[in-house]
Amino acid sequence: MPELPEVEVVRKELEALFEGQPRLEKIEFLRKELRDPMPIAKIQLLLGARILAVRRRAKYLLIETEKGGLLSHLGMTGTWRVAVGGDDRLHDHVYLHLSNGLRLAFRDPRRFGILEVFDLRFPEKSPRLCNLGPEPLEEIFTGIYLWRQLKLRKGPVKPALMDQKLVVGIGNIYASEALFRAKIRPQRKSNRVSLESAEILVGQIKQILAEAILSGGSSISDFKGAQDNPGSFHLLHQVYDRKGVPCVICGTLIRQSVMAGRSTFWCPVCQS
DNA sequence: CTGAGCACCTGAGGGC
DNA sequence: TGCCCTCAGGTGCTCA
């Protein structure tokens, strides 16, 4: 799935496609459910509305219209794509027909994605958004904040970084990558990460997410932008999916293990 | 409260 | 070539 950088890349592309504030002329559902049933009737209430903006909160895309908000999550394999005329895509589930002539497809083979409405006036109160931690690229996400949060936890630091209640947007790739850059072993107990290490880790998280956005995201497997352009950040992965490959710093072979059900990669020498 | 395990679903890739 | 197995960017449930 798309982690924060990939979602942000999609957001920017949608923003460009929504230039001129097109109307939602038709919303076509090719199936009734993704991971959960879609609230089709509520979504249809947005018909005819102009699209005003598209924002991102955590890994959610928030499309703001005159008549309300449309929220989407890309799950593991979700994408918003400009549908080309006549194509008959197996995994297209919803089409947004816009008044500028574009047809946007929500395409998601595994159907772990989400499509719902949200209240524009109180987005933070919507059920999907009300328990989220701070945005990692904003100033409130600091070393002292992370250190205090980690102090409260006994488990390993890597799953903690992926907990969206602690901080949003970091998924399985960027958790491994940020810990490598900060020289922290993923297995390190959260409450034993020093303030100094937490400061370094926050700096690395901000840097890696920003770099990934600039590179158009990581295109492992099938992530692509709305108009088929792949990102290139996966070329800069230093540990993720590199089991048995020499560490770029010290040459030791990268190791892999499973933590909280997710593959985890690290250098046994550089990270302690 | 926390953390672990698993379920949700399809497709890609490796081994034989 | 084909079959079978494992694994995949996330989240949210149950259970201890």
What are the pLDDT digits (tens) for A93-142?
A: 999 999 999 999 999 999 999 999 999 999 999 999 999 999 999 999 99
State residue A178's pLDDT score. 97
**A62/A115 Cα distance (integer angstroms):** 10
| Mean pLDDT of all residues in A41-60 | 98
The gap between A221 CA and B13 C1' (Å) is: 11
Beta bridge partners of A62: A55, A71
Q: Please check whether strand C approaches the CB of A220 to within 7 Å.
A: yes
A75 sits within 7 Å of strand C by its CB: yes
Q: Which of A236, A167, A253, A232 is nearest to A202 (CA)?
A: A167
**Å: A237 CA to B11 C1':** 23
Query: pLDDT (tens digit, 9 = 90+) per residue, A202-212?
Result: 999 999 999 99
| A225: pLDDT strictly greater than 70 | no
User: Does the CB of A108 fall within 7 Å of any strand C atom?
Assistant: no
What is the residue-wise DSSP string for chain A?
A: ---HHHHHHHHHHHHHHTTT--BEEEEEESSSBSSSB--HHHHHTTTTPBEEEEEEETTEEEEEETTEEEEEE-TTT-EEEEPPTT---TTEEEEEEETTS-EEEEE-TT---EEEEE-TT-GGGSTTTTT----TTSTT--HHHHHHHHHT--SBHHHHHT-TTTSSS--HHHHHHHHHHTT--TTSBGGG--HHHHHHHHHHHHHHHHHHHHTT---STT---TTS----GGGG-SSTT-TTSBPTTT-PBPEEEEETTEEEEE-TTT--
> Which one, of A238, A257, A89, lies nearest residue A178 by Cα?
A238
Q: Is the pLDDT of residue A222 over 70?
A: no
A103-107 and A51-57 strand pairing: unpaired
Segment A144-151 mean pLDDT: 96
Q: Residue A1 pLDDT more than 60?
A: no
A139 CA – B2 C1', rounded, Å: 28
Which nucleotide minimizes the distance between its C1' and the CA of A159?
A: B3
Q: What is the pLDDT of residue A87?
A: 67
What pLDDT does A135 receive? Answer: 97
**Residue A264 CA to nucleotide B13 C1', Å?**
20
Q: Percent of chain A having pLDDT more than 90?
A: 89
The pLDDT tens digits of the residues spanning A118-130 come to 999 999 999 999 9
How many angstroms is C1' of B5 away from CA of A4?
26
Mean pLDDT of A201-222: 88
* β-bridge partners, A20: none
Footprint of strand B on the protein (CB under 7 A): A 35, 90-91, 109-112, 152-156, 159-160, 163, 190, 221-222, 259-261
**pLDDT tens-digit map of A239-261:** 999 999 999 999 999 999 999 99
Residues contacting A37, CB < 8 A, separation 6+? none
| Nucleotide nearest to A231 in CA–C1' terms | C9
pLDDT, mean of residues A67-80: 96
Nearest nt to the A91 alpha carbon by C1':
B10
Instruction: Give the percent of chain A with pLDDT over 70.
Output: 96
How many whole angstroms separate alpha carbon A27 and alpha carbon A19? 19
Task: Report the range of poorest mean pLDDT among A66-75, A219-228, A232-241, A243-252.
Answer: A219-228
Please give the positions of A annotated as active site: 2-3, 59, 262
Structure tokens at A214: 């600039």
Residues 11-30 of A with CB under 7 A from strand C: none
- Range scoring the smallest mean pLDDT among A1-5, A220-224, A235-239: A220-224
